[in-house]
Structure 1
Amino acid sequence: MKFIHRLGYYLGGFALGIIFLLFFLNGKDASCDYGPNARTVKNINSKPIEYSDKASEFITDHTLDSLTIKNLIKFGSVDFSKSKTKLDSCKVYHIDNIYKERDMELTIKNCDSIATLLEIKYKAV
């Protein structure tokens, strides 16, 4: 069999495979969260978020809403050097992000069924 025929069969099968995948994965919320940052953020966002008194006060003073907090968590980067990941029950994560051109730091206690925003603050300049 000539190379051009083999290439044709290969590309034909490859195209059918891509169409097959697009058909079955279309509309599904499939994602590839393999990195530790992505897995941690996805785990936190999959739970209801409660706010501590200190965090609620900051949110009220700076007129933030729950969607803004969700986006700060979703698009933030987890600082594992400041986080306490060796705890048995609830792990505490520090997430850094930028909001209105200022650096912010969120401290989140991540338990099995709920995540609690312990503290949210602007970083010192």
Structure 2
Amino acid sequence: MAFLRRLGWYLVGLSIGIVFLVFFLQKKSEETGTEFCYFPNCRVLKDLRSKPLVFGDKLQETFRDTILIQSFLKDGDIDFRNSDTKSEPCKIYRIEKDIDNRKRILQVQNCKDSIVVESLSY
């Protein structure tokens, strides 16, 4: 009988903890604009999205589409192997994304105050 009483109290405490945790995590979810980024790809893309966008001089006029660039910064995959993450003062990242079953590559410079879009290759 003592075991069942302890099990009951354990389940009561566990259910209260789960309700509290669900309430806390729901408040921190995307509904409030907060997202949890733990992986390097997600963290770099989140940092890039937080800065103003500047188009480089070499970028063609047809590729100066903010919506297209924002789609890379939201759903792209950073190619860390071909990126220069140690350069100063701006780090250079290559972001890949499949559009219409073809791989597109966006190259950006991540500076302190802004990001500079250098090139977009098809």
Report the TM range for the smaller structure's normalisation: 0.7 to 0.9
Determine whether 1:13 maps to 2:17.
no
Are residues 1:29 and 2:33 paired? Answer: yes
Instruction: Tell me how far apart the structure 2 counterparts of residues 48 and 42 of structure 1 sit (CA, whole Å).
Output: 12
- Shift in Å, 1:7: 3.5
1:7/1:120 CA distance change after superposition, 3 Å: farther
* Counterpart position of 1:110: 110
Alignment length (residue pairs): 117
Q: Gaps spanning 5+ residues in structure 1: where?
A: none
Which runs of at least 4 in structure 1 moved beyond 6 Å after TM superposition? none
The share of aligned pairs that are identical, in percent, is 36
**Closer, same or farther in 2 for the Cα pair 1:33/1:15, shift >3 Å?**
same
Which secondary structure does the structure 1 equivalent of 2:58 belong to? Answer: helix
2-structure distance, mates of 1:28, 1:9: 34
Partner of 2:98: 98
- TM-score normalized by the length of structure 2: 0.81
Relative distance call for 1:116 and 1:8 in structure 2 (3 A) is farther
Q: Note the C-alpha offset of 1:107.
A: 0.3
Q: CA deviation at 1:87?
A: 1.5
Contact 1:92 1:108 in 2 (8 A): yes
Structure 2 runs not aligned, ≥5 long: none
Distance 1:14 1:67 in 2: 46
Q: In 2, distance between residues paired with 1:92 and 1:46? A: 16
The partner residue of 1:38 within 42, 52, 55 is: 42
Letter in 1 for 2:43: R
Partner in structure 2 of residue 54 of structure 1: 58
* TM superposition shift of 1:56: 4.4
Q: Encode CA deviations 1:18-61: one digit per residue, 9 max, x unaligned.
A: 3323434424333221111111111101111111133342415x
The letter for the 1-side match of 2:92 is V
